[in-house]
Amino acid sequence: MKLPLFPLGAVLFPGARMALRVFEPRYVDLVRDSLKQGAAFGILRIREGREVVQPGADPMPRLVPVGTFARIVDWDADSHNMLNIIVEGEGKFRLLGTEQQTNFLVVGEVEPLPAEAALPLPERAHSLLPLMQQLLAHPAIARLQMQPQMGDGGLLANQLAQLLPIPEADKFALLTEVDPLVRLDRLLQKLEEIDGS
């Protein structure tokens, strides 16, 4: 399937939300079309290149091979003609190829990846529940209005990985992990590293 893409320096996880400020004409058009059609678009991490087209630079970024379907759940426009949107990740896809339109919007040929089965939260991960409540109380995160997935270990791991200050390369490694239990354990290990530093 063809999917308009929004390359970023960041990762979006299924079941998690992120806020974006949109000002480039190609992405304003993408947001407008997405809202009008109720359609998803893709968010992928940039492996090489820039989010914003720079004069004289190659406008086509090199992208990682796995991304997330994103749907706009809230938006507003500010006085500087910028769109503020909140997107929610829905599922993962594999990128098969890309093309760039005349307005520099990247369109991908993508293949949806299988949905993950729900994972009951293991007892060893119960410490994540108060951490999630703490994060959701932070004003910058509260405005995302993310619904915590306390009963599904895989989705809870996704949401925490989205919100925690983990390097984006590590987030991408978590995103591409196909086993939600392994992802959860890797996240627990990351938290131990953060606590120990």
> Would you list the DSSP string of 75-96?
EEE-TTS-EEEEEEEEEEEEEE
- Decide which of 87, 112, 137 is a domain's last residue: 112
Domain span at residue 93 reads: 2-112
Find the mean pLDDT for residues 106-133: 94
- Report yes or no: 153 and 120 within 8 Å, Cβ to Cβ: yes
Cβ(68)–Cβ(93) below 8 Å: yes
Higher pLDDT, 160 or 54: 160
pLDDT of residue 51: 54
108 and 69 share one domain: yes
Q: What's the domain count of the chain?
A: 2
Are 46 and 142 found together in one domain?
no
Phi, psi of 89 (to 5 degrees): -75, 140
Q: Are residues 104 and 12 in the same domain?
A: yes
pLDDT at 175 over 90: yes
Average pLDDT over residues 114-121: 92
- pTM of this prediction? 0.91
Say which CATH number the domain at 158 has. 1.10.4060
C-alpha closest to that of 83 among 16, 20, 7: 20
Residues 63, 17 share a domain: yes
Mean pLDDT of 152-171: 94
Give the residue from 61, 84, 112 where a domain finishes: 112
106/52 same-domain check: yes
Shared-domain flag, residues 64 and 146: no
User: Band of the pLDDT at 81, cuts 50, 70, 90?
Assistant: confident
pLDDT recorded at residue 80: 73
pLDDT, position 58:
55
The predicted model gives 5-30 an average pLDDT of: 93
Give pLDDT, residue 18.
Answer: 96
